[in-house]
Amino acid sequence: GEWSGDAIHRRFLEFYAAHGHKILPSSSLVPDDPTLFLTIAGMLQFKPIFLSKEPRRVPCATTSQKCIRTNDIENVGRTARHQTFFEMLGNFSFGDYFKKEATAWACELATKEYGLPAERLWISVFEDDNEAFDIWHNEVGVPKERIKRMGAEDNFWTSGATGPCGPCSEIYYDFYPERGSSDADLGDDSRFIEFYNLVFMQYNKRDDGSLEPLKQKNIDTGMGLERMARILQKVPNNYETDLIFPIIEKAASMAMVSYAKTDDATKTNLKIIGDHMRAVVYLISDGVIPSNIGRGYVVRRLIRRVVRIGRLIGIRGDGHGNSGGALLPSLAETLERGEKLLDELLDEALLSAGNNGDKPSLSGKDVFLLYDTYGFPVEITAEIASEQGVTVDIEGFDIEMENQRKQSQAAHNVVKLSVGNETEIVKSILDTEFLGYDSLSASAIVKG
Ligand code: ATP
Ligand code: MG
Ligand code: MG
Ligand code: MG
Assess contact for 193 and 81: CB atoms under 8 A: yes
| Closest ligand 1 atom, residue 154 Cα | 6
Residue ID of nearest Cα to ligand 1 atom 11: 197
ipTM of the complex: 0.99
Phi, psi of 54 (to 5 degrees): -135, 145
Residue ID of nearest Cα to ligand 1 atom 21: 224
pLDDT, residue 186, reads: 97
Assess contact for 152 and 114: CB atoms under 8 A: no
pLDDT, residue 338, reads: 83
pLDDT, residue 412, reads: 56
> 60-109 pLDDT, tens per residue?
999 999 999 999 999 999 999 999 999 999 999 999 999 999 999 999 99
pLDDT, residue 324, reads: 44
CATH 3.10.129.10 holds for 5-236: no
Assess contact for 323 and 317: CB atoms under 8 A: yes
Residue extent(s) of CATH 3.30.930.10 domains in the chain: 5-236
pLDDT, residue 437, reads: 34
Burial class (CB in 10 A: 0-12, 13-18, 19+), 337: exposed
pLDDT, residue 430, reads: 40
Residue spans of the chain under pLDDT 50:
319-327, 414-448
- Give the CB-side neighbour count of residue 60, counting CA atoms within 13 A: 22
3-state secondary structure of 21: coil
**204 CA from centroid of ligand 1 (Å):** 22
Nearest ligand to the C-alpha of residue 195?
Answer: 1
pLDDT, residue 352, reads: 86
State how far the Cα of 282 lies from the Cα of 276, in Å rounded to an integer: 10
3-state secondary structure of 397: helix
What is the residue-wise DSSP string for 128-170?
Answer: T-HHHHHIIIIII---GGGEEEE-HHHHEEESSSSEEEEEEEE
pLDDT, residue 388, reads: 84
Which of 181, 212, 183, 254 is CA-nearest to residue 50?
212
**359 CA from centroid of ligand 1 (Å):** 38
What does R_g of the chain's alpha carbons equal in angstroms? 24
Q: Which residues contact 429 (CB under 8 A, 6 or more apart)?
A: 409
Q: How many CB atoms lie within 10 A of CB 343?
A: 12
Partners of residue 204 on adjacent β-strands: 164, 212
AA identity, residue 169 = S
Residue ID of nearest Cα to ligand 1 atom 19: 224
pLDDT, residue 251, reads: 96
Largest CA distance in the chain: 74
3-state secondary structure of 107: helix
Residue ID of nearest Cα to ligand 1 atom 24: 82
AA identity, residue 212 = E
**82 CA from centroid of ligand 2 (Å):** 8
State how far the Cα of 395 lies from the Cα of 266, in Å rounded to an integer: 32
**What does DSSP assign to residue 191?**
T
pLDDT, residue 301, reads: 92
Partners of residue 200 on adjacent β-strands: 219
Which of 201, 241, 219, 204 is CA-nearest to residue 91?
219
Nearest ligand to the C-alpha of residue 231?
Answer: 1
The sign of the CA dihedral 335, 340, 344, 346 is positive
| Closest ligand 1 atom, residue 199 Cα | 11
Assess contact for 284 and 66: CB atoms under 8 A: no
- Ligand 1 pocket (Cβ < 6 Å) reads 69, 72, 81-83, 86, 88, 194-197, 222-224, 226-227
pLDDT, residue 429, reads: 36
Assess contact for 117 and 309: CB atoms under 8 A: no
Q: Are strands 391-392 and 163-174 parallel, antiparallel or unpaired?
A: unpaired
